[in-house]
Every structure is written in structure tokens, then in C-alpha cells.
Amino acid sequence: MQKIDTTSSPALDPAKTDWDFAEVWIDPLISPPYVLLLLGDLAGHYRVHDPAERYKIVFSSATYDEAQTWLLEDEYEPVEGRLSALELQENSK
């Protein structure tokens, strides 16, 4: 007779949040629009990730203004709103 393990799985650890906020930026000139993510962390670093390239970092800077300028120079536009890690943590409780 085959035995089946019925013990419950251990609880998963909550994901560690190393980012403070995320913004979605799009290139509206192509269809569908190309999407990049701008993440700012608590240490004051800003990184632009490309979801189509497995979230590869395509640009990083020490200031928000530098990251924003880089995106705007490539004709990306921000999607209105910002996703905050702190708000997500508070809403999940």
C-alpha cells in the first residue's frame, strides 16, 4: 500500500520588500505600448527594469530626476499613480 504524506507545508516567509515605490512608464508610440518599471528603494537608488527582458535593470541612478530624465529622453510617459510598498504591506494585513 502506498503512503501519502499529509503533513501541511511550512508557512512561506513573506517577501522582503527592498523597494519603496514603483512607477509604470510606457512608450505610447507603439502598439501595444512598451512598458518599463521605475523602482525607488529606501536607500535612495532608482532603477529602471524591463519586464520583457526578465526585469533586467536597463538604467540606474542616484536620483529620481536622473531616472525620470532618462525615461523622458526615450519618449516614455508615466502612467498616472505610484505603487507604494508600504501601502501594499498595510493593505495585506
pTM (predicted TM-score): 0.74
**pLDDT bucket at 91, cuts 50 / 70 / 90:** confident
**Length of the chain as a residue count:** 93
The residue extents of the domains of the chain are: 21-91
pLDDT in tens, 28-66: 999 999 999 999 999 999 999 999 999 999 999 999 999
More confident position, 86 or 32: 32
